[in-house]
Amino acid sequence: MMLPDPAATGLARVRKIEGDALGLRTPAFAPTEGAGDLLEVSLGPHHPSTHGVFRMDVVLDGERIVRLKPVFGYLHRNHEKLGEATSYLGSMPYTDRLDYLNSMTNNWAYALAVEKLAGIPVTERAEYVRVVLAELSRLLNHTCLAGFLMQDCGCSGTPLMYAFREREKILDLFESLSGSRMMCNVQRFGGCRVDPSAEWLAATRRLVDGYGAFLDEFEALLSGNEIVMARTQGVGRLPAALAVNAGITGPMLRASGVGHDLRKVDGYGVYPRFNFRVPIGRDGDVYDRYMVRMLEMRESIAILDQALRDLPGGPILDPKAKQRGLRPKAGEAYGRIEGPKGEIGFFLVSDGTGNPTRYRVRAPSFVNLTVLEDLCLGHTVADAVIILGSIDIVLGEVDR
Amino acid sequence: METPEALRDRLLARFPGASIELVPNGSPSAQVSFRIGPAALREVACFLRDDAELALDQCSNVTGLDVPDREVVETVKESQPGAPGGPPVVTERKQTRLQPGHLEVVYHLYSVARRQGPVILRARTGNRTDAVTLPSLTPVWRSCEFQEREVFDLFGVVFEGHPDLRRILMWDAFVGHPMRKDYVEPDDYEWEPTPHGDVLAKARRHYPSAAAPGAVQPSP
């Protein structure tokens, strides 16, 4: 693991893809000569390691995986159809339910897409508040992910409880700001629904100031832990070329050594004003995916520090920005942001009426699952469990 | 990155026979897209991916659009010879014409290596019933694998050359494509212990082969 220096972002390590991309598919793991029968096992849908209602159809040769097909859709409620039957504002609370750990970033991505579609400017204060909320959400997501991943590794209890203790502190902040712990429904087109008070900002400042110490403690427990390293290093390697070609985004892409972060690349919101680094991995294995998230949290703390320091006054929402009864001109827009799990995007098509004629959610966990089979071939079932854990999926978003 | 017009001209110069058309966007986002004829879609996609200047190495988003058949009212002018020596008599007549619908697949391409995009590709099927085949771009970008399966599942576009084209969100025995505009959702007959009346009729319509609707619901 290493942090790139800001001048060299690691992009040079992206190799050009040559020939047919199907050639990138990991060759099927050859069963051992003279092996016995292959065994087909259905992992899930109700299993703690699958992080929700998710099934892996696994074919085993002894303990080795020779085929793995993810099966999902158990939580499918045709979210996109609901979006087409609802007004633009009416979809905002529904987006909370996609990746239900990160309603803040879901809201932001949707608000950004609508703002692009209708050309709505965002107030300065709201831009900063969005950054604060999104980075808190990133802290929450990565902390929980580390806890879940350790649970998957068989490290029962302690790291997850530590993670959940910190998560609860962030959720308390969300609750006092929005009225809800997880379904926050905070963003509006052109700003935010709520304005953080001075007390709330002071409480957030206290949390941010103390978070580094928690990370030190957490990392002392896990990052150099021999068992964790033996269990995760070299498992589920994802080559950079395949990661880019398969649309992998977020910490999973960066763990493979590609310094691609939409906060830098697109520079949406006010991110260009903040000084932060993009951590990248070297081997693209489960350990790198864990470690990239740990390092990203340090950068989130740096961003929070600057955003809280520079937070301007002024209105949080332009009262003239239309919310109810918004009717954008006929056209389409694709808006995307760097969510904690990767690129979350919304593709909206307007025909000039109050409902979008097409409302599409580009869910990062859904696309990141594309390479699950490639990562698991040749590994054991126990490894498949931690590989799935390191992808960081949320079924509310995969199934939509 | 070059302007969309320049890119279109470059594509037309490279693929002279292909149908490549710029689709304007009336929204302030100004994200214009290219409608590519299905015959050349995969070659154009490979070109966009491998071109050194564009290097569109990531297909971020794949989605479908359903444009149903619609009736267009047109005014037709007919002129008939009037009285001898006089001007012809022009009569206006309104007639309705059925504009056939189609399914459309939209690809949002970005370059990770050169940090640019999006370039948006669209491809149309012939109609919504029997000419719904389009070439799959999964051989070009692996990220299309699950997303094209989703478009197949929810819209009913058949992707030729897809390595594993199966339903992905709905279960295998499901009939219909729920994201189509004219999809009629089945009633909650699945939960009726003894469906009868309207519920049974609706269930039979949805699963015509089934005598009892419960019988065609294999647990996935």
pLDDT at A8: 40
Cβ-Cβ contacts under 8 Å for B194 (sequence gap 6 or more)? none
Torsion (CA) A298, A299, A304, A306 in degrees, nearest 10: 120
B112 vs A116, A244, A369: nearest CB? A244
Mean pLDDT calculated for residue range B198-214: 64
Domain map (residue ranges) of chain B:
4-67+102-175, 184-220
Size of interface A-B (CB pairs under 8 A): 136
Closest residue in chain A to residue B31, using alpha carbons only: A333
pLDDT tens per residue across span B103-155: 999 999 999 988 888 899 999 998 888 889 999 999 899 999 999 999 999 99
pLDDT tens per residue across span A311-369: 998 888 888 888 888 899 899 999 999 999 999 999 999 998 989 999 999 999 999 99
> Quick check: A139 and A347 in contact, CB under 8 A?
no
pLDDT at A33: 55
Cβ-Cβ contacts under 8 Å for A387 (sequence gap 6 or more)? A235, A236, A286, A372, A375, A376, A379
CA-based nearest residue to B136, from B151, B148, B124, B120:
B148
Residue with tokens 């009633």: B187
- Nearest-neighbour CA in chain A from B131: distance (Å): 22
Specify burial of residue A4 (Cβ count, 10 A radius: 0-12, 13-18, 19+). middle
Q: Does domain B4-67+102-175 have CATH number 3.30.460.80?
A: yes
- Nearest-neighbour CA in chain B from A171: distance (Å): 31
Q: 3-state SS of A302-342?
A: HHHHHHHHHCCCCCCECCCCCCCCCCCCCEEEEEEEEECCE
Q: Is A118 in Cβ contact with B28 (below 8 Å)?
A: yes
Task: Give the tokens for residue B139.
Answer: 């051989």
Q: Is B57 in Cβ contact with A245 (below 8 Å)?
A: yes
Q: Is A14 in Cβ contact with B113 (below 8 Å)?
A: yes
Q: Which residues of B touch A332 (CB under 8 A)?
A: 25, 27, 29, 31
A334 vs B26, B65, B118: nearest CB? B118
Question: Residue A209: what residue type?
Answer: D
Task: Give the tokens for residue A321.
Answer: 């920005």
Cβ-Cβ contacts under 8 Å for A34 (sequence gap 6 or more)? none
Q: Is A24 in Cβ contact with B142 (below 8 Å)?
A: yes
- Nearest-neighbour CA in chain A from B82: distance (Å): 44
Distance CA A17, CA A245 (A): 8
CA-based nearest residue to B137, from B20, B45, B19:
B45
Distance CA A228, CA A390 (A): 13
Q: Which helix (H) or strand (E) holds A27?
A: none
Task: Report the SS3 class of residue A31.
Answer: coil
B61 vs A25, A245, A334: nearest CB? A334
- pLDDT by position in tens, chain A (length 400): 444 443 443 333 222 233 334 444 444 445 555 556 778 888 878 777 777 788 888 888 888 888 888 998 888 989 999 999 999 999 999 999 998 889 999 999 999 999 999 989 999 999 999 999 999 999 999 999 999 999 888 888 888 999 999 999 999 999 999 999 999 999 999 899 999 999 999 999 999 999 999 999 999 988 888 888 888 888 888 999 999 999 999 999 999 999 899 999 988 989 999 999 999 998 889 999 999 999 999 999 999 999 999 999 888 888 888 888 889 989 999 999 999 999 999 999 999 898 999 999 999 999 999 999 889 888 888 899 899 989 988 988 998 8
pLDDT tens per residue across span B30-84: 888 999 999 989 999 999 998 888 889 999 999 999 988 888 888 888 888 877 8
Q: Which residues of B touch A347 (CB under 8 A)?
A: 61, 63, 106, 108
Residue with tokens 């809280």: A308
pLDDT at A51: 77
* DSSP at A56: E
pLDDT at A271: 92
Task: Report the SS3 class of residue A155.
Answer: coil
A247 vs B29, B65, B141: nearest CB? B141
Task: Give the tokens for residue A322.
Answer: 């239309």
Q: Is A360 in Cβ contact with B112 (below 8 Å)?
A: no
CA A307, chain centre distance (Å): 21
Task: Give the tokens for residue A240.
Answer: 């950079």
B179 vs A81, A329, A371: nearest CB? A81
pLDDT at A41: 84
- Say which CATH architecture domain A34-71+78-398 belongs to: Orthogonal Bundle (1.10)
Measuring CA to CA, how many Å separate A359 from each of A340, B63, B121?
Answer: 22, 10, 18
> Quick check: A256 and A245 in contact, CB under 8 A?
no
CA-based nearest residue to A289, from A297, A298, A302, A280:
A280
**CA count, 13 A, side-chain hemisphere, B167:** 18
Choose from A244, A395, A397 for mutation: most chain B CBs within 10 A: A244
Measuring CA to CA, how many Å separate A59 from each of A22, A62, A67, B49, B208?
Answer: 22, 9, 5, 34, 35
B59 vs A25, A247, A333: nearest CB? A247
CA-based nearest residue to B48, from B17, B2, B99:
B2
- For chain B, the C-alpha Rg in angstroms (whole number) is 24
User: What b-and-e string marks burial along A221-244, b requiring 16 or more CB atoms within 10 Å of the CB?
Assistant: ebbebeebeebbeebbbbbbbbbb
B191 band by pLDDT with thresholds 50, 70 and 90: low
Q: Which helix (H) or strand (E) holds A166?
A: helix A158-178
Domain map (residue ranges) of chain A:
34-71+78-398
pLDDT tens per residue across span A52-103: 788 888 888 888 888 888 998 888 989 999 999 999 999 999 999 998 889 9
Q: Which residues of B touch A362 (CB under 8 A)?
A: 60-61, 63, 108
pLDDT at B209: 58
B193 band by pLDDT with thresholds 50, 70 and 90: low
Task: Give the tokens for residue A65.
Answer: 């995986």
Torsion (CA) A171, A173, A175, A181 in degrees, nearest 10: -10
Q: 3-state SS of chain B?
A: CCCHHHHHHHHHHHCCCCCEEEECCCCCCCCCEEEECHHHHHHHHHHHHHCCCCCCCEEEEEEEEEECCEEEEEEEEEEECCCCCCCCEEEEEEEEEEECCEEEEEEEEEECCCCEEEEEEEEECCCCCCCCEEECCCCCCCCHHHHHHHHHHHHCCEEECCCCCCCCCCCCCCCCCCCCCCCCCCCHHHHCCCCCHHHHHHHHHHCCCCCCHHHHCCCC
